[in-house]
């Protein structure tokens, strides 16, 4: 089967080799004669998958298992909007509001204490990232969303929050570039954008901070329980964890985060070059170039009718997922780690041809 050019924002493209390995595991996992969907999560074969996936995660991030834990839980990143404050908010927390998901995270946190909005870009519909912050020195933690899938902005540096623990939602750019992950006390990422399929969330927690977590909360919502039980307190999402594990192996085989970052930068440049060459036609929605995301590239055309035509003609060429999020319209190409550069080259070529035919 010829693969389409997949630009969906999530669930999103996976490496073809990982899809093929998963297909094999769905039919016959670890040569057991049963599917990965049928095997006991307590079996030594799946236990090995979980342990190796956790090990590879920390290794790629340059983190020590003595200082950090990696767990996999269900509920999507949206569950983390509540789990973070439930575990770690005692009185108040700082939130930087840079998009829809950051807004929802702050709203959930208000159920558990005071939320201080230290910066926001909502004044211009989230088309930039704030540059100045008024961090609260007595906050229990500070929360950021490192990549904004809908609006196409991405943090390029890690903010300095002083002694206040930093928490990040990295769902749409996790493991897409090199980063000093040790600056974070907790990172969470829904898998379906840049790591694997929907159904599992990767959570990285600093052990020292975990000791300060609240205890009087429901058992299933305690990070400490999931850490102590090795992500096996309840039945984990077995198939998604397997796919994440194979995706991590794929990243390692490419050369790790340095190689992935170089490739992602090259892919993004192919499309941003179109914006810079034809700014009155391909109107990038992000105000400042330094805020442009490598993962989610967003733009408008001169009219909504042209946008519809662009998406329709691209679909005929098997370029899928180019319609912008329903809340903002326009166009969007998600060029996650697994998006082949050949797909991005094909899209850039189509954009050149579409401009020539419709300018």
Task: Give the CA angle between residues 320, 325, 330 to the nearest 5°.
Answer: 80
Which whole-number Å values give the CA distances from 317 to 8, 130, 157, 340, 346, in the listed order?
15, 38, 37, 16, 9
Find, among 87, 89, 51, the residue nearest to 70 by Cα: 51
| CA pair distance 255, 253, nearest whole angstrom | 5
Q: Which among 193, 206, 224, 267 is annotated as catalytic? A: 193
| Residue labelled with tokens 């290794």 | 59
Task: Answer yes or no: 107 catalytic.
Answer: no
Of 56, 69, 94, 101, catalytic: 101
CB atoms within 10 A of CB 120: 16
- Residue 199 falls in which region: left (phi positive, over 0), alpha (psi -120 to 50) or beta: left
Question: Is residue 244 a contact partner of residue 191, using CB atoms and an 8 Å limit?
Answer: yes
Measure the CA–CA gap between 125 and 175, rounded to whole angstroms.
27
| 139 exposure class (CB count in 10 Å sphere: 0-12, 13-18, 19+) | buried
Pick the catalytic residue from 56, 69, 140, 169: 169
- Among candidate residues 193, 183, 213, 154, the one with its CA nearest the CA of residue 61: 183
Helix axes of 256-277 and 238-254: crossing angle, nearest 10 degrees = 80
Active site (annotated) includes residue 249: no
| Pure H helices in the chain | 16-27, 44-61, 76-88, 100-109, 207-210, 223-228, 238-254, 256-277, 304-316, 341-358
193 catalytic residue (yes or no): yes
Annotated catalytic residues are 101, 169, 193
């Amino acid at each position: 089967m010829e693969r389409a050019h997949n630009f969906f924002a999530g669930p999103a493209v996976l490496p073809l080799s990982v899809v093929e390995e998963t297909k094999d595991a769905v039919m016959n996992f670890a040569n057991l004669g049963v599917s990965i969907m049928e095997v006991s999560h307590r079996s030594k074969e799946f236990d090995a998958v979980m342990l190796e996936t956790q090990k590879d995660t920390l290794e790629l991030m340059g983190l020590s298992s003595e200082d950090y834990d990696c767990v996999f839980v269900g509920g999507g990143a949206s569950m983390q909007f509540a789990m973070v404050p439930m575990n770690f908010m005692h009185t108040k927390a700082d939130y930087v509001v840079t998009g829809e998901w950051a807004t929802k995270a702050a709203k959930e946190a208000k159920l558990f204490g005071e939320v201080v909005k230290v910066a926001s870009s909502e004044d211009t519909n989230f088309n930039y990232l704030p540059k100045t912050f008024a961090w609260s020195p007595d906050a229990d933690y500070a929360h950021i969303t490192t990549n904004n899938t809908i609006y196409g902005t991405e943090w390029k540096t890690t903010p300095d929050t002083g002694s206040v623990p930093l928490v990040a939602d990295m769902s749409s750019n996790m493991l897409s570039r090199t980063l000093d992950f040790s600056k974070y006390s907790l990172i969470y990422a829904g898998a379906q954008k840049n790591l694997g399929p929907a159904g599992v969330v990767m959570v990285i927690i600093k052990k020292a901070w975990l000791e300060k977590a609240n205890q009087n909360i429901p058992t299933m919502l305690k990070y400490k329980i999931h850490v102590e039980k090795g992500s096996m307190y309840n039945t984990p999402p077995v198939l998604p964890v397997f796919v994440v594990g194979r995706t991590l192996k794929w990243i390692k085989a490419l050369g790790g985060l340095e190689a992935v970052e170089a490739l992602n930068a090259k892919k993004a440049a192919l499309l941003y070059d179109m914006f810079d060459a034809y700014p009155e036609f391909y109107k990038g929605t992000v105000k400042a170039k330094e805020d442009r995301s490598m993962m989610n590239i967003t733009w408008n055309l001169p009219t909504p009718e042209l946008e519809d035509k662009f998406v329709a003609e691209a679909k005929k060429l098997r370029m899928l997922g180019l319609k912008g999020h329903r809340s903002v319209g326009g166009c969007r190409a998600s060029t996650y780690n697994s998006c082949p550069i050949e797909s991005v080259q094909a899209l850039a070529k189509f954009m050149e041809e579409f401009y020539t035919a419709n300018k």
